[in-house]
């Protein structure tokens, strides 16, 4: 069973429907016990970093997520769910994140329009089972103003160009996360979700 973490921010239904479409058994829950029982965890999200961390803490989900990920449970972050993995964000002040990966979240350093909304290509930086069947240079759907800056080069899975080069996906062990929305990215996005479900 895949548990999608409901902390009051994000397009839960579209992620749930996309995972169901690739044959996964899915539940959406804000109950820490459901996250403990899950075989895999998905943390989606749309909105502000500080609000997201506040909501996770209020629902008793921060320590549960950290513990389950530390125990080796497969974890997938989507959009804000990627940002939250890192130590801190400077979105509307400085806020502490989950700290599962070293690094921070910063405003996209670009002269181009922010937020970036629409399709953009990803350059694959290392091999990953999650990207099986995904050609290098494939396009996915983005909606974001901030980007992660990992401390470790080895955590970078994909990069993307948008007036600058930014990190659009990370992976380390059982942790993976994407800045783009696989659930809104047509058949290639579904391929990523199917790879995660398997």
Instruction: Please identify every residue annotated as catalytic.
Output: 79, 181, 183
Read off the tokens for 162: 């948008």
Torsion of CA 185, 187, 191, 192, to 10 degrees: -10
Read off the tokens for 100: 């599962």
Whole-angstrom CA distances from 109 to 118, 147, 185 are 18, 9, 24
CA-CA distance, 133 to 93, in Å (whole number)?
Answer: 40
CA-CA distance, 76 to 59, in Å (whole number)?
Answer: 19
DSSP 74-128: -EEEETHHHHTTEEEE-TTS-EE---SEEEEEEE---SS-SSEEEEEE-EE-S--
Residue 78 near residue 5 (C-beta atoms within 8 A): no
């Amino acid at each position: 069973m895949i548990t999608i973490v409901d902390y009051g921010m994000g397009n839960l239904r579209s992620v749930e429907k996309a995972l169901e479409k690739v044959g996964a058994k899915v539940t959406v829950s804000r109950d820490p016990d459901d996250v403990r029982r899950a075989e895999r965890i998905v943390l989606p999200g749309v909105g502000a970093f500080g609000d997201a961390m506040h909501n996770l803490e209020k629902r008793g989900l921060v320590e549960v997520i950290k513990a389950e990920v530390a125990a080796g449970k497969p974890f997938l972050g989507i959009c804000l769910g990627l940002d939250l993995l890192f130590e801190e964000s400077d979105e509307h002040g400085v806020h502490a994140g989950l700290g599962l990966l070293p690094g921070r979240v910063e405003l996209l350093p670009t002269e181009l329009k922010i937020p970036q909304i629409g399709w953009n290509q990803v350059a694959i930086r290392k091999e990953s089972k999650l990207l099986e069947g995904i050609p290098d240079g494939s396009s996915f759907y983005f909606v974001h103003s901030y980007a992660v800056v990992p401390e470790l080069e080895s955590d970078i899975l994909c990069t993307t160009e948008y007036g600058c080069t930014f990190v659009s996906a990370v992976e380390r062990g059982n942790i993976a996360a994407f800045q783009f929305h696989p659930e809104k990215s047509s058949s290639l996005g579904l391929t990523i979700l199917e790879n995660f479900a398997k």
